[in-house]
Amino acid sequence: MFALAGIAHAADQKDAVELRRIEVSESTLRMPQSQGALPTTITVITAEDLHQQLAINPDLSDAIGNLLPSFAPSTQKLSSRGQTLRGRNPLYMIDGVPQSSPLRNGSRDAYTIDPAMIERIEIVEGSNSMQGLGAAGGIINIITKQAPKQDGVRQDVTASTSAPTRGGNGLGYGASYLLAARSGAFDLVAGAAWRQRSMYSDAKGRLIGVDGTQGDLMDSVSTDGFAKFGYDFAGGRRLQLTVNRFDLEDNGDYTAVPGNKAANLPTTSVRGKQPGDAPRNRVLTSSLDYRDPQLAGGELRAQLYHQKNRELFGGGTFGTPSRTRPTARACCSTSRRTCRPRTARGCRGRSVACSTARSPCWLAPTATATAPTRN
């Protein structure tokens, strides 16, 4: 028995594989990264993984859902409602800046930056209060592109197109440009992106029904402008300014055709203008970060940020307003303690007698004459 146990132990040591420790950014974890500091699962989606996923579909939520089993599949809508981490809503961040709107949650926090500006994604699963709010399901921290570690300039230019699938309508286009440079203590990252998305269709070639209220990723156009400036001082101190402006708006060129559940017909779309303005999402994110690793024997990390969201939801015509004349009560008002008829529009020319017998000023009962009828 002892010999068998020794052989098994030797085999275990031979087949043992040393796991690589995952390093995450300071904006994701607000605590020292010791081995037992956080008893949760941490996943890092690298730039290579993102590049492979985004080459097929530029939907960031779709890429996360394919690489992270605990993340719900993408709904391909402008709203992130339903895209959860094991059934709970995550907190989206960009370089540590929360993208949620705590005052009135519009569920638009998943689409606030173009994928071309993303270096990697760090995901902390499980409820936590490290960021103070909104992390019921965990944290999804989007880390933006970084400048080169050595002096020099790097430029990235991408262009993409997607042909319409069976029954699809229109082509999809995309283009992005990114500049990253470093010169001494100064570094810069700047980029711009534009994408035009076409309509989606199902396996039978039918156009997917549009959501005129929440908005869709299909039949939409998005633009993004990104800039990051950094300066490294002596002693490891660093000052960094980041600004990102992202706009995503539906074109509103299609309307939904209601389906029929009894006939097994799904909701589809036909070309036509949606009523009112199309849904859109406009986000301006800016942050100022400062780090001093040797301040009075400790470490200082400070961040000042400003987040501005403008979310527009679609509407419709749910009734036809009619122009009606004011009621007799509306034609009476109290002026100088006297109940008298009003001269408002619709009250002129009306035989109105007002009285203070009831409070407030009310229409007084008047006798009406009727014309005789002939049998």
Percentage, residues of the chain above pLDDT 90: 27
pLDDT digits (tens, 9 = 90+) for 90-146: 889 999 898 876 667 778 888 899 999 999 999 988 877 776 677 778 889 999 999
Of the two residues 268 and 40, the one the predictor is more confident about is 268
**In this predicted model, what pLDDT tens digit does every residue of 53-98 receive, in sequence order?**
888 888 888 889 889 888 988 888 888 888 888 888 888 999 989 8
pLDDT at 2 over 50: no
Q: What is the pLDDT, as a whole number, of residue 297?
A: 82
| Tens digits of residue pLDDT in 155-192 | 999 998 877 655 556 678 899 999 999 999 999 999 99
Q: Are 135 and 127 in contact (CB under 8 A)?
A: yes
Express each pLDDT in 11-55 by its tens digit.
Answer: 555 565 555 555 666 555 655 555 455 667 888 999 899 988 888
Q: Is the pLDDT of residue 254 over 60?
A: yes
**Residue 226 near residue 189 (C-beta atoms within 8 A):** yes
Handedness of CA 139, 140, 145, 149 (dihedral sign): positive
pLDDT of residue 311: 87
How large is the average pLDDT for residues 271-298?
88
Band (272; pLDDT cuts 50, 70, 90): confident
Please report, rounded to a whole number, the percentage of residues in the chain having pLDDT higher than 70.
70
Taken in order of first residue, the domains within the chain and their CATH numbers are 19-312 (2.170.130.10)
